Structure 1
């Protein structure tokens, strides 16, 4: 998005003020849940937004370079949300502490979009509500899986109803301990989608339907509640099998493919995180998390995480 759009004639001004947000990373797909399942992770970007009479100031801290102008994704999401609400475009002061690695399949763009949408909505008095925030964020991102997880936390299932994005969330089982393996290399979602075929065999689609349904149940705290940790891990191992996107993406990601094979060879549920190149292990309990951390992963940073259950958090700060 370039320059701010001109306000409609008679457009109102957003409320003055400032907000601070904390937005989680997310892992989408989780194997078979292509463009539908998302898991919010305990790794956060922090964003502060202050309205000013004019101008744009961005102070960004983090390992990845980001634009310092209207091309900044948080700014673009703020502008799009104010346009959606029919409000004049204000001046902005942003401070961003970026901890979610970019281009690694961890929902960094979704986190930035959610930060901008929720900041603008909060500064306008929150007229959008949860459904409106999901709709606007999805329109910017292009698909709802990561933005749903970043908005609502926990495990989310996202879909479209008459072209309108919807999502449900559940709280995952407390013993689920995600372990992330993050490489130094980056990959764009557009590049990863380019590897996907237009059609897949009917038998593969049928397998994925069953695996995705099993994955949602096995991850959910309301799922096999009586299952032991070992039984839940066994279910997750089966449930993270995928025939829809990973067989087509992994050949161009040999290091990620090798790591997924080694983790699964050790009996640990593992899959690409989103479109990759990061890998997520859905360990059950501290022992399996430690086993996942112990699998050799040359070229990857190993990050044990919790599941985020809150989603984006926003608070008003002194203006």
Structure 2
């Protein structure tokens, strides 16, 4: 019997910023930084990093993307064929830009295409939220654009808002901030009245985005009661970034996810000016202008000659 030719795929997953101030564990926005995985069926699992920052991760089947792919396949009664993965990423690690969420989505996409699961995007979301713990980052990476989501004991609900005419200038410190550390500063409980106020602020924030009332959106970001008042204390540069960004056109400023990146939101076409001002004011930090990704995660079937073009094709 003729041996079947090894199959190959290219998986591209966008970065994301979550919370957007008052939308704690609910709002996510996809950004144009990407995790790219080229997978080629092989005799055993092997992971080759094409980005220096990824060299710290395992190169065998204990790699997180592989563990997710195997776990998803097993959940559907399938056994995924081992692959050689070539992984590159321009998403900064442990900076609050959804690097772990992108890895989760990549693993799910690999299991789906390799095992022929034919999962819907919502089914992928349900799986991703179980791995990540909340749907905001993974939802944005899967759907693209702005997502509004909630997770209850009955599952995940999400609405995508793909068209969002804004840009995001991110101020990324050199130092890491682990999500666990950022979570530990949050209170275990809030009063009923405080939770009512926090929920109302979040509701108005979503409505402001829907109406494209950017000034109101910025005000609601600043009035968050869920996490920013506690996490800002871990970031001595936050107030300075907020002051400069607001002075030079940002309608809103918020922690990106759990931090330490600060996301500055600006209307389209105004991002370049804000970028230059923040670069001049914070030369020790990595300042980037990002646009909104509207496609979400993508999977492409590769031919043999395309795989041979590595790594320059990445």
Q: Secondary structure at the match of 1:178?
A: strand
Which structure 2 residues correspond to residues 98-247 of structure 1 after superposition, within 5 A? 98-174=89-165, 176-220=166-210, 223-224=211-212, 232-241=213-222, 242-247=224-229
| Aligned with 2:45 (options 53, 56, 71) | 56
Work out the CA distance in 2 between the residues paired with 1:119 and 1:152. Answer: 17
Work out the CA distance in 1 between the residues paired with 2:176 and 2:258. Answer: 11
- Of 262-271 and 249-258, deviating more is 262-271
Work out the CA distance in 1 between the residues paired with 2:191 and 2:283. Answer: 34
The structure carrying a bigger helix percent of its residues is 2
Give the Å deviation of 1:255: 2.1
Contact 1:211/1:238, CA 8 A, preserved across alignment: no
Q: Secondary structure at the match of 2:26?
A: strand
Deviations 1:142-199 (A, max 9, x none): 221110000000101121243412221012432x111111111111111111110012
Give the Å deviation of 1:218: 2.8
Contact 2:20/2:254, CA 8 A, preserved across alignment: yes
Contact 2:275/2:287, CA 8 A, preserved across alignment: no
- Of 92-101 and 54-63, deviating more is 54-63
Work out the CA distance in 2 between the residues paired with 1:163 and 1:188. Answer: 29
Deviations 1:85-131 (A, max 9, x none): 21124221101111101000000000011011012101222432212
Deviations 1:39-78 (A, max 9, x none): 00011111111222x3122111224232212232211111
Unmatched runs of 5 consecutive residues or more in structure 1: 1-14, 225-231
Contact 2:249/2:270, CA 8 A, preserved across alignment: no
| Aligned with 1:46 (options 21, 36, 59) | 36
Deviations 1:231-278 (A, max 9, x none): x33122112121210111111221234323443465621010000000
Work out the CA distance in 2 between the residues paired with 1:121 and 1:94. Answer: 15
Work out the CA distance in 1 between the residues paired with 2:271 and 2:102. Answer: 28
In 2 relative to 1, CA 236–277 (structure 1 residues): closer, same or farther, beyond 3 Å? Answer: same
Unmatched runs of 5 consecutive residues or more in structure 2: 305-314
Work out the CA distance in 1 between the residues paired with 2:112 and 2:176. Answer: 31
Q: Secondary structure at the match of 1:240?
A: helix
Q: Secondary structure at the match of 2:189?
A: coil
Q: TM-score, normalised by structure 2?
A: 0.87
